[in-house]
């Protein structure tokens, strides 16, 4: 049996990971080549510093005189993925209002990336200014979504949480 190795690599702009087993090294043209066997499925590695959840929430963004309405596809305390028929440019500063089920959250953010999506656009919005009280509202919402997901998991229901 070979040596277990964790392999990390980039593919199509995703950071991926797989557990592998080294099956030896051979040399070809003075280049050492490592033979690996896949030991686990390839999985995506989270690159963000803040945990995110899938969530569709209404959002209003404004930059200068241009106001855009859309919704989130995912959310973290560090930012969101925003979908709309209109678009801002990368690097634009936006003032926004995020509509949580029980609260509205005001923030300042920056457009980190833009991609075409169906008949509109997706934009990565990083929160630049999100007050402590607003952060608590977002974290509370994310926490509730996680609890709901755990409750769907039978192992969680067997524990008395």
Is the CB of residue 46 less than 8 Å from the CB of residue 57? no
Assign 152 to helix, strand or coil: helix
What is the rounded (10 degree) CA torsion for 33, 38, 44, 48?
Answer: -60
How far apart are alpha carbons 136 and 149 in whole angstroms? 20
- In this structure, the answer to whether residues 21 and 85 fall within a common structural domain is no
What is the rounded (10 degree) CA torsion for 141, 58, 115, 90?
Answer: -90
- Give the count of alpha carbons within 13 A of 20, CB side only: 18
- In this structure, the answer to whether residues 27 and 93 fall within a common structural domain is no
List Cα–Cα distances, 134 to 60, 97, 104, 105, 126, in angstroms.
16, 11, 9, 6, 14
Residue 101, domain member (yes or no): yes
Residuewise pLDDT in 10s, the chain (161 residues): 688 888 877 777 666 788 888 888 888 787 878 888 888 888 876 555 566 788 999 999 999 999 999 999 999 889 999 999 999 999 999 999 999 999 999 999 999 999 999 889 999 999 999 999 999 999 899 888 888 877 776 555 555 44
- What pLDDT is stored for residue 161 in this prediction? 46
Domain that includes residue 139, residue range: 52-152
- In this structure, the answer to whether residues 57 and 28 fall within a common structural domain is no
- In this structure, the answer to whether residues 62 and 101 fall within a common structural domain is yes
Element (H, E) at 125: strand 120-129
φ, ψ for residue 150, nearest 5 deg? -65, -35
- In this structure, the answer to whether residues 13 and 91 fall within a common structural domain is no
Q: Is the pTM of this model over 0.85?
A: no
CATH number for 97: 2.40.10.220
- In this structure, the answer to whether residues 16 and 56 fall within a common structural domain is no
Longest dimension (CA), the chain: 65
């Amino acid at each position: 049996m070979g040596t277990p190795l964790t392999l990390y690599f980039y593919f199509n702009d995703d950071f991926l990971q797989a557990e592998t087993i080294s099956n030896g090294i051979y040399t070809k043209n003075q280049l050492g080549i490592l033979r690996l066997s896949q030991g686990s499925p390839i999985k995506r590695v989270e690159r963000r510093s803040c945990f995110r959840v899938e969530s569709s929430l209404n959002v209003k963004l404004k930059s200068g005189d241009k106001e855009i309405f859309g919704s989130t596809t995912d959310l973290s305390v560090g930012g969101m993925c925003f979908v709309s028929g209109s678009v801002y440019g990368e690097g634009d500063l936006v003032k926004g209002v995020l509509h949580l089920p029980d609260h509205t959250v005001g923030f300042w953010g920056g457009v980190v990336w833009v991609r075409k999506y169906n008949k509109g656009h997706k934009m990565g919005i990083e929160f630049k200014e999100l007050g402590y009280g607003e952060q608590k509202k977002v974290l509370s919402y994310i926490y509730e979504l996680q609890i709901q997901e755990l409750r769907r998991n039978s192992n969680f229901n067997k524990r008395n949480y």
